Amino acid sequence: MKRIVALLLSFCMLLGCVAFAEGAGFTPGTYEGSGEGFAGPGSVQVKVTVDENAITDVVIEGEGEVKARGIFDYGKFTLNGATIDACDHNGGYAVVCYDGAEFTMNSGIVKTSNENGDDTTPGNYDATPIQVEAGAKATINGGTITNVSNFTYALNNCGDTTINGGEFTSAHTVVGNEAAGATLTINGGKFTCNGADQYSSHAVYSEAGTITINGGEFDGNGYNVWTEADATVNIYDGNFKQTNSGS
């Protein structure tokens, strides 16, 4: 059964990619597999839906843990449970959404551990939990996103991301908007920065694009919201505080 899960997860690495070769194809349908996670108790269930030429939808759920170099989303990916832990300790992503992709997270955990292989001591060259590239769309309704790196974000948005809930924790800035035309809408959720550097440890950072905050709880070690000259931030509601020192 683990071989079935491993095979389905290998499809997840290239969601929505064209099938094996020109002229080849899939047999349309939804394929399911389940088995024990790679670390700790609990199982992982994977559902992959394909048409004749491409993977159109992938759903991962359960309570087990998936250790991967990264899940590369070119199609449609939904996370309803389980834990995704990036094992790339030299950059990279746990989940990265490319142009045209859609990612929905309803529950579960997306995290990265440091270059020493643990998830408690901050490091400088670790993976980003969630990266949304230009042209991609992400919706976060719940779950836990944890970043232990001093260098990156829990979620970095260059596309179109809506956060309705979930708990985000980061040793660096928690969520960032880093591309012209990027839109980040925060309707809820909890954003906590536990980084030591008050000058780069913010709850929300906007280098470019537009961020709209309609709600949520924000606890930054530096500033709760930092905006560069080329960015726009609209704040209509939310709870902002500072548990740690900073400005």
- The yes-or-no verdict on residue 6 having pLDDT over 50 is no
Q: Closest Cα partner for 130 from 122, 101, 121, 118?
A: 101
Both structure tokens of 227: 């905006």
Q: Closest Cα partner for 105 from 127, 83, 88?
A: 83
Which stretch of 13-22, 29-38, 89-98, 211-220 has the lowest confidence by average pLDDT? Answer: 13-22
**CA 235 vs CA 187, 191, 204, 238, 240: distances in Å:** 10, 15, 12, 8, 11
pLDDT of residue 17: 38
Q: Is 28 exposed, middle or buried (0-12, 13-18, 19+ CB in 10 A)?
A: exposed
Instruction: Tell me how far the alpha carbon of residue 152 is from its chain's centroid.
Output: 12
Q: What is the pLDDT of residues 70-123, one digit of tens each?
A: 788 888 899 998 888 876 555 678 899 999 999 999 999 998 875 555 545 555
DSSP state letter for 123: B
Q: What is the pLDDT of residues 170-201, one digit of tens each?
A: 988 899 998 999 999 999 999 998 866 655 67
Both structure tokens of 28: 């349309």
Overall residue count recorded for the chain in this entry? 247
Report how far residue 179's alpha carbon sits from residue 211's, in angstroms, rounded to the nearest whole number: 11
Task: Measure the CA angle with vertex 30, ends 25 and 34; round to 5°.
Answer: 120
Q: Closest Cα partner for 56 from 24, 93, 110, 14?
A: 14
Residue 46, H or E segment: strand 43-50
Q: What is the pLDDT of residues 198-240, one digit of tens each?
A: 556 789 999 999 999 999 999 987 789 998 988 999 999 999 9
Both structure tokens of 143: 């779950």
